[in-house]
Amino acid sequence: MRTKIYFTGVALLFFTACGENFIDRKPISEVATTNFYRTADDIRIAISGTYAALQFPGNFGQLYVAGDIPSDDTYPAVSGSVTDQDEFDKFYLRTTNPFLLQRWNDAYRGIARANAVLDRIDGVTISEPLKSRYAGEVKFLRALYYFNLVRFFGDVPLVLKEVANQQEGYTYGRTPAAEVYAQIEKDLLEAVPVLDPTYSGANVGRATSGAARALLGKVYLTQRKFPQAAAVLKEVVESGVYDLLPDYRSVFSPDNKNHRESVFDVQYLGGGLGEGNPLPNAFAPENSGNNVIAFGGGGNNQPSRDLENAYEPGDLRKAASLATSYTTATGSVVQARYSRKFLDNPAAVNDNNNNFPVIRYADVLLMYAEALNEVSYQPNGEAFGLLNRVRRRAGLGDLNSTRVPNQQAFRDAILQERRVELAFEGHRWFDLVRTGKALEVLRAKAGDIGIKTTITENNLVFPIPQSQIDINPTMIRQNPGY
């Protein structure tokens, strides 16, 4: 069922209800903004639209193009002259690449929806606790959309209110990344005290105070604000809300969603409602028919041999995360590496029931360990315990200060652990950039990857979509090197 609402801005925006539980599927008539935002139910539906933007390809629907493919973990399918994803893998990006514009537009669509709610909510009669919580949820989402933008493009326009007309849109230039990060922090700090720590029933899946703290910790870590990151991530760990599931494979099961390891997920729902997850089909091998997943696969986000070899012997995560072959109905074995982390049994193509993890507790534990180590390396200290919790679940032995004798060695251990723990979840590229390892790693592997240029600091952010520069050349300038 579809819900359509008009939003003011440079263009009219539409949304469909996304996911399950708290997401509204009640069909309503098309309503102009002049007649909308009058009741608490109007606000609730509009917030559902802000969550719905998480599913957009440029946000999390195709996060792998931004988070996995530019790294050493994966590579895309290349079909004839269609090399749009390959440009990210081998760094010969055109400024007209459609994935750039998709990422830009989809993030700002989510931001526009958040701004519309925040601009209108005070004029609607809602109980103050609910109004505060709704505002906190939307600020969390706005912060998340801006975090995706600023990590990818660097300086971006900071828009914090509804854009009333096209002419107003031309007044926005690129805001320095430091100011964008400051606003992200502000939104999350305001969200934390008004969000609930957990939800039940129809509200499961909404942004929680733990999700806001965890995202804030990642934002601090990205800016190398290590004491602040450690402090806020400690609050998440000590909240008692989250835990690692005993079985790594069950973390991603379509039959086991919104569990104790889920800090914040993009909600999907299979079953012919138009809200299914497309990634399991996208990641299955090309030309594999129904042998890996019903309705076949697109061959996207294929694991590199380097990632395959990154797992230690005995690591239980390897078999749960990737495969190197599949068997046909006639018994033939076909050699093909592919991600199997999100496999489902869909009733239609791209209609899988898995949620997509934005932040999960293993990520929090590893971020907290990283922050503690950056504040001060402590032999066999608390950071080791956090790291080893993740390793034990994977069936691996503990690391200690004999094997990891100093701060740099611990940095390397954390980066390695994040690689195999969070594979195919859109983290690797951003981890390499955040830790200052991207140039070193990609230059060393440039021949194996087939990189077509000499990677420099300019490549650590991606080009602004050319159309945005063409539309507003006096305010929007291109990143260096493109």
Per residue in 127-138, pLDDT tens? 999 999 999 999
Distance in angstroms (rounded) separating the CA atoms of residues 1 and 464: 35
Q: Report angle CA 383, 436, 419 to the nearest 5 degrees.
A: 55
Which residue is it, tokens 């650590």?
460
Residue 139's H or E segment, with its range, is helix 128-153
Q: Is a pLDDT exceeding 60 seen at residue 15?
A: no
Give the CA dihedral 181, 183, 184, 190, nearest 10 degrees: 150
The pTM assigned to this predicted structure is 0.93
Mean pLDDT of all residues in 93-112: 97
Distance in angstroms (rounded) separating the CA atoms of residues 107 and 53: 8
Query: How would DSSP label each residue in 284-312?
Result: SPBT-TTSSSTT-B---SEEPHHHHTTSP
Mean pLDDT of all residues in 405-419: 98
Centroid of chain to Cα 79: 26
Indicate the DSSP class of residue 330. Answer: T
Contacts made by residues 125-128, CB under 8 angstroms, sequence distance 24+? 125/39, 125/40, 126/40, 126/43
Q: Is a pLDDT exceeding 90 seen at residue 20?
A: no
Residue 134 CB coordination number (10 Å):
23
Distance in angstroms (rounded) separating the CA atoms of residues 211 and 204: 13
| pLDDT per residue as tens digits for the range 314-340 | 999 999 999 999 999 999 999 999 999
Return the closest-CA partner of residue 396 out of 248, 238, 233, 240. 248
pLDDT at position 34? 57
- The top-level CATH class assigned to 33-269+434-471 is mainly alpha
Residue 113's H or E segment, with its range, is helix 98-120
Q: Decide: helix, strand or coil at residue 325.
A: strand
Q: Domain map of the chain by residue range?
A: 33-269+434-471
Q: Is a pLDDT exceeding 70 seen at residue 383?
A: yes
| pLDDT per residue as tens digits for the range 183-236 | 999 999 999 999 999 999 999 999 999 999 999 999 999 999 999 999 999 999
Bridge pairing between strands 356-360 and 333-339:
unpaired
Extract the tokens encoding 328.
């046909």
